[in-house]
Structure 1
Amino acid sequence: MSDFARQQADFQRGILTGDDTVLAEILDSPREKRETLYGVYRYAYGSRLVEALRNDHELLHSYLGDETFDEMGHAYVKARPSEHPNLRWFSQGLPEFLRSAEPYCNHPVLADLAALEKALNDAFDAAEGELLDLTAMAAFAPEQWNDLTFRPHPSAARLDLSTNASAVWMALKNNETPPDAATLEEPARILVWRQDTTPMFRELPAEEAMMWDEAANGIPFGVLCEMLATYDDPDGAAARGAGYLHGWITSATLTAVSTSVLR
């Protein structure tokens, strides 16, 4: 390693870990000590990463306020140093950090709010995909429907929230006072996707969430209807399944359909 490369490595390590070895090779200026000069770089690095967190989690920032968000952000920077040259991916671990780190884990709405914003960001950046339409479904004969399987759009994802974070998100988005944070008796089952260029989400009833999760795993429509029959009126299971499917297609959450014969 050249001497310059070693200095660069020492400089970077000092910023990332607090190692002061590189200070021995930095000169004081006529006005400031080397510790102060080098501290500017340390502060700027952390502040830039916190700014990236603000950009990715605007509503979490609004919920916490400047001071608390920045305090949380710097704690995240220290706990989860950036490992990717693209700042877009720096905030990916924020929901898990908020779920596990004190004092934030004592307020689960924070992790849920971060997870919802992350899912919406991921939906916006997800790959393009062909959209399944109702015309394509009409091409299948009735006897083929039991074997139909579906592929979610690349932007579609499911998450469960233990709190009323979705109501908090909606209030913040509309510049309204958010409701008090509350833990739910049952998780809110959220489907996130991108419609045209806009990230969307909605809460699913338990039955539909089950059907979506199983359909996303390649379970054919006939088996899905059998599973629906265990939730409610067995005689109406097929109709309910067709209704959920119609909603997924018209809201642009599916990209392909196939049958076991075609596979």
Structure 2
Amino acid sequence: MSDFARQQSDFQRGILADDDTILSEILDSPRETRVALFGVYRYAYGSRLVESMRKDHELLHRYLGDEMFDEMGHAYVRARPSEHPNLRWFSQGLPDFLKAAAPYSEHPVLSDLAALEKALNDAFDAAEGEVLALDAMAAFAPEQWNDLVFAPHPSARRIDVSTNAAAIWMALKNEDTPPDAATLEEPSRLLIWRQDTTPMFRELSSEEAMMWDEAADRIPFGVLCEMLATYDDPDGAAARGAGYLHGWITAGLLTAASLRE
């Protein structure tokens, strides 16, 4: 390794891993020590990453405020140094970090808010896909419906949150005062997707969430209706299933329907 390449490696390690080896090759200035001078680079690197996190998690930033968000962001930078050249992917691990690292893990609404914003960002960046039209369903005879399987749109995401993060997110988005954070008696089941160019989400009932999760695994419609029959009135299961399906199609959540092979 050339001397220049070694210096580059030491410089990078000094920023990413707080290794002070490089300090032996930096001179103090008349006004500042080498530690302070190199600290500028360390701080600038972290601040640039935190700035990108503010853009990816705008409402979490609004919820925490500048000081608390920046403190959290620098903690994340130290715990999970960037491993991707594209800043878009740097904060992908933020929900897991907030769930596991104290003191943030003591406030589960933070990881839920981060997970919701991550899912919305991922939906926005997802691949394009055909959108199944409602009139396309007329191509299938009634006796074929039991064997229909469905393909979800590439932008569709499903997450469960244990807190009222969705209500807080909506209040922040509308620039209203958010409600106090609260843990829910049962998880809130959220479906996130991109409609045209706009990422959005809505809460699902436990029944609809079950049907969506199974439909996304290409379980046939007839079997889905049998599953719905275990949730509520068995006689109305097929009608409820058709209602959920109608809602998914009109929202642009499906790309195709086909007969099970």
Listed as ranges, the gaps of 5+ residues in structure 2 are: none
Q: Helix, strand or coil: the match of 2:41?
A: helix
Distance 1:184 1:33 in 2: 52
Aligned residue runs from structure 1 range 132-211, under 5 A: 132-211=132-211
Distance 1:123 1:87 in 2: 17
Q: Which residue of 1 aligns with 2:112?
A: 112
Matched, 1:253 2:253: yes
Aligned twin of 2:241: 241
CA drift of 1:136 comes to 1.3
The residue type paired with residue 80 of structure 1 is R
| Unaligned runs of at least 5 residues, structure 1 | none
Corresponding residue of 1:126: 126
Secondary structure in 1 matching 2:160: strand
Tell me how far 1:35 sits from its aligned partner: 1.5
Match of 1:53 in 2: 53
After superposition, give the CA deviation of every residue in 1:159-180 in whole Å (9 maximum; x if it has no partner): 0010000000000001110000
Q: Could you say which residue in structure 1 is the equivalent of 2:25?
A: 25
Secondary structure of the 2:180 match is coil
11-20 vs 33-42, which moves further: 33-42
Query: In the alignment, what sits opposite 1:85?
Result: 85
Distance 1:128 1:137 in 2: 21
Q: Distance in 2 between matches of 1:53 and 1:223?
A: 43
Q: CA deviation at 1:37?
A: 1.4
Give CA-to-partner distance per residue, 1:186-236, whole Å, 9 cap, x none.
Answer: 100000000000001000011100000000011000000000000011111
Q: Report the 3-state secondary structure (helix = DSSP H, G, I; strand = E; otherwise coil) of the residue aligned with 2:137.
A: helix
- Residue 12 of structure 1 pairs with residue 40 of structure 2: no
Inter-partner Cα distance in structure 1 for 2:96 and 2:239:
39
CA apart distance, 1:239:
0.6
Name which of structure 1's ranges 22-31 and 73-82 shifts more when overlaid on structure 2: 22-31
Give, in whole Å, the separation in 1 of the partners of 2:234 and 2:18: 64
* RMSD (Å), alpha carbons: 0.7
TM-aligned CA deviation for residue 29 of structure 1: 2.7
SS of residue matched to 1:28: coil
Query: 1:122-177, CA deviations, whole angstroms, 9 ceiling, x for partnerless residues?
Result: 00000000011112111001111000000100000100010000000000001110
Supply the distance in 2 between the matched residues of 1:71 and 1:207 (Cα, whole angstroms): 40
SS at match of 2:245: helix
1:186 partner SS: strand
**In the aligned structure 1, how far is the partner of 2:171 from the partner of 2:39?**
39
Instruction: Tell me the CA shift for residue 27 of structure 1.
Output: 2.2
Query: Displacement, 1:31?
Result: 2.9
Q: Please, what TM-score do these two structures have when normalized by structure 1? A: 0.98
User: For the residues of structure 1 that align with 2:2 and 2:145, how far apart are their CA atoms?
Assistant: 67
1:52 counterpart SS class:
helix
Q: Structure 2: how far apart are the matches of 1:116 and 1:78?
A: 23
Give runs of aligned pairs for residues 34-45 of structure 1, distance below 5 A. Answer: 34-45=34-45
Q: Deviations over 1:13-56 (max 9, x none)?
A: 00011111011112223332221211110000000111111110
Give % identity. 82
